[in-house]
């Protein structure tokens, strides 16, 4: 057992669903991202099932993995979307997603992005400051539209996660303090082209405990109560995303427990519940497949130099994040401890430190839990074309993004006139 559903050893060989990863590498080359349709579907269905009779909407956070095939799969399953840019909106529309189930988050929406979203008739803008609200009102007025709005409240709770992905503390750039939000809602009449429809928060990512979610939820309920007593009709409560996954030894709440707790905590209100899960829908549904180019043994350390790098998977370099790394063929005897590093010219270019396995040059490694914030954060640093993306559906494989070519990569650049 690998411990990752749909990615399992058969004998000594690692498979995704019914396809050997070795075969994917032979057919499509490395590095490549490989996703399991079954794992994606099961994760989504766990959320749906857990909500049971509750009026709810799951808005998949597109930034976790924005491949059109993945968006299309979730759209077919009935998912809504949480977007943070006009580009993500365009992806959702192209993937057949429903703009009426799409919410738009982010602290720096441009006027052009607001126009795109108003034209598409999205469900709601999650507004993060009074200045943004004033701008949105102007843009909507000029278009003769009414913008549906939810204020993103910063509930000032400690998500107990990595500081770079914690968003719900009062010193973070996100959201509006609860007291300020209350007074903005009360001045609703000042905004001719805004309709306040919801209340929103998102406290961070990779949360491995329920406590912070419940604390934030409590604060939101208090605010909701205040607003209602002042006669404001709020239609939905959006509790954001952030549920963590198991990368190594974490024990995050299960999807079932998380949703059950949110439902139990909001039992007495009639509002529709929205959530914006990203990582927990896609993280453990994908891996990064890479081949060992060289083994280098020095007196200090052993290095496995692989063909994937920090430009393909940035999380280790950016957050010192841990990803389990499994050999695709697990049959050799002599274990050694390796630093798994890429070809990029940075010491920060590593995928894993001190990993023990028995491998030879040319062997394949599978970097696990790479479905979220992997491809979507990739770059072309060192002029490295971005990896291909492959979707496995039982015994079938589909290219859902071609490997980039160097020609594509430099096509839009030009020299100065001579
Ligand atoms: C990133 C983000 C999410 C998704 O977070 P996950 O940790 O991937 O679930 C949801 N809502 C907002 C506003 C975000 O910025």
pLDDT band at 404 (very low <50, low <70, confident <90, very high): very high
* Three-class secondary structure of residue 48 per DSSP: helix
Place of tokens 């491998």: 359
Question: What pLDDT does 168 receive?
Answer: 74
Do 105 and 202 touch, CB atoms closer than 8 A? yes
Q: What is the pLDDT of residues 172-185, one digit of tens each?
A: 788 899 889 999 99
> How far is it, in rounded angstroms, from Cα 159 to Cα 169?
8
Q: Which residue has the higher pLDDT, 199 or 5?
A: 199
* CB atoms closer than 10 angstroms to residue 170: 11
Do 405 and 29 touch, CB atoms closer than 8 A? no
Atom of ligand 1 nearest to the CA of 244: 7
> How far is it, in rounded angstroms, from Cα 2 to Cα 406?
35
**Alpha helix (H) ranges present in 153-287?**
178-186, 211-229, 255-265, 279-282
> How far is it, in rounded angstroms, from Cα 123 to Cα 126?
10
> Which region among 94-98, 305-309, 343-347 has the lowest average model confidence (pLDDT)?
343-347
Please compute the mean of the pLDDT values over residues 338-343 and round it to a whole number.
Answer: 97
Atom of ligand 1 nearest to the CA of 205: 7
Question: What pLDDT does 313 receive?
Answer: 98
18 C-alpha to ligand 1 centroid (Å): 31
Place of tokens 């096509």: 411
Return left, alpha or beta for 374; rule: phi > 0 is left, psi -120 to 50 is alpha, else beta: alpha
Question: What pLDDT does 163 receive?
Answer: 77
> Which region among 38-42, 160-164, 313-317, 369-373 has the lowest average model confidence (pLDDT)?
160-164
81 C-alpha to ligand 1 centroid (Å): 11
Q: Which residues are catalytic?
A: 345
Question: What pLDDT does 40 receive?
Answer: 98
Strands (E), 241-383: 272-275, 286-297, 302-306, 325-327, 336-341, 350-357, 364-367
> How far is it, in rounded angstroms, from Cα 389 to Cα 289?
10
Q: What is the DSSP code (8-state) at residue 4? A: B
Check pocket membership of 63 for ligand 1, CB cut-off 6 A. Answer: yes
pLDDT band at 169 (very low <50, low <70, confident <90, very high): confident
Atom of ligand 1 nearest to the CA of 242: 7
Give the tokens for residue 294.
Answer: 């060289």
Check pocket membership of 205 for ligand 1, CB cut-off 6 A. Answer: yes
The answer to whether the predicted template modeling score (pTM) of the entire model surpasses 0.95 is yes
Check pocket membership of 161 for ligand 1, CB cut-off 6 A. Answer: no
Place of tokens 């001190």: 354
Please report the DSSP string for 269-288 in residue order.
Answer: --SEEEE--SHHHHGGGEEE
Question: What pLDDT does 334 receive?
Answer: 83
Do 46 and 256 touch, CB atoms closer than 8 A? yes
End-to-end CA distance of the chain: 61
Question: What pLDDT does 167 receive?
Answer: 76
User: In Å, how far from its chain's centre is CA 320?
Assistant: 17
Do 133 and 141 touch, CB atoms closer than 8 A? no
Residue of 201, 241, 284 to test ligand 1 pocket, by largest number of atoms within 8 Å of CB: 241
Task: Give the chain's domains with CATH numbers.
Answer: 7-36+283-410 (2.40.37.10), 105-277 (3.20.20.10)
> How far is it, in rounded angstroms, from Cα 118 to Cα 304?
50
374 C-alpha to ligand 1 centroid (Å): 14
> Is the pLDDT score of 343 beyond 60?
yes
User: 357 pairs with which residues across the strands?
Assistant: 336
- If you average pLDDT over every residue of the chain, what do you get? 95
62 C-alpha to ligand 1 centroid (Å): 9
Give the tokens for residue 245.
Answer: 């996954």
> How far is it, in rounded angstroms, from Cα 398 to Cα 69?
10
Please compute the mean of the pLDDT values over residues 237-249 and round it to a whole number.
Answer: 96
Q: What is the pLDDT of residues 249-303, one digit of tens each?
A: 899 999 999 999 999 999 999 999 999 999 999 999 999 999 999 999 999 899 9
Please compute the mean of the pLDDT values over residues 81-110 and round it to a whole number.
Answer: 98
Question: What pLDDT does 1 receive?
Answer: 57
> How far is it, in rounded angstroms, from Cα 338 to Cα 361?
13
> Is the pLDDT score of 122 beyond 60?
yes
């Amino acid at each position: 057992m690998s411990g990752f559903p749909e990615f399992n050893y058969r004998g000594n060989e690692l498979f995704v669903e019914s396809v050997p990863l070795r075969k994917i590498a032979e057919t499509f080359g490395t590095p490549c991202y490989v996703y399991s349709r079954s794992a994606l579907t099961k994760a989504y269905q766990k959320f749906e099932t857990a909500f049971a009779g509750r009026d709810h909407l799951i808005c998949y956070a597109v930034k976790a993995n924005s491949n059109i095939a993945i968006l299309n799969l979730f759209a077919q399953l009935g998912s809504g979307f949480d977007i943070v840019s006009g580009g993500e909106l365009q992806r959702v529309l192209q993937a057949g997603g429903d703009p009426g189930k799409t919410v738009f988050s982010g602290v720096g929406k441009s006027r052009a992005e607001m126009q795109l979203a108003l034209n598409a008739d999205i469900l709601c803008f999650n507004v993060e400051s009074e200045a943004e609200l004033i701008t949105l009102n102007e843009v909507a007025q000029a278009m003769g539209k009414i913008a549906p709005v939810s204020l993103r409240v910063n509930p000032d709770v400690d998500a107990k996660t990595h500081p770079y992905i914690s968003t719900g503390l009062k010193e973070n750039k996100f959201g509006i303090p609860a007291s300020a939000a209350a007074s903005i809602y009360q001045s609703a009449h000042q905004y001719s082209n805004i309709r306040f429809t919801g209340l929103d928060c998102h406290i961070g990512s990779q949360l491995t405990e329920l406590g912070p979610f419940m604390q934030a939820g409590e604060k939101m309920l208090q605010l909701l109560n205040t607003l209602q007593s002042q006669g404001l009709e709020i239609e939905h409560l959006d509790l954001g995303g952030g549920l963590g996954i198991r990368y190594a030894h974490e024990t995050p709440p299960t999807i079932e427990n998380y949703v059950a707790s949110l439902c139990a905590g909001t039992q007495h209100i009639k509002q529709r519940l929205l959530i914006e899960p990203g990582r927990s829908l896609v993280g453990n549904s994908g891996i990064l497949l890479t081949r060992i180019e060289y083994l280098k043994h020095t007196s200090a350390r052993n290095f496995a130099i692989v063909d994937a790098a920090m430009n393909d998977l940035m999380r280790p370099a950016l957050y010192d994040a841990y990803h389990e790394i499994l050999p695709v063929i697990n049959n050799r005897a002599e274990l050694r401890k390796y630093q798994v590093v890429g070809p990029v010219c940075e010491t920060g270019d590593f995928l894993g430190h001190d990993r023990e396995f028995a491998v030879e040059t040319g062997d394949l490694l599978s970097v696990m839990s790479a479905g979220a914030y992997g491809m979507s954060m990739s770059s072309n640093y060192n002029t490295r074309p971005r990896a291909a993306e492959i979707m496995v559906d039982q015994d079938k494989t589909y290219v859902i993004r071609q490997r980039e070519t160097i020609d594509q990569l430099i096509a839009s650049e030009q020299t100065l006139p001579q």
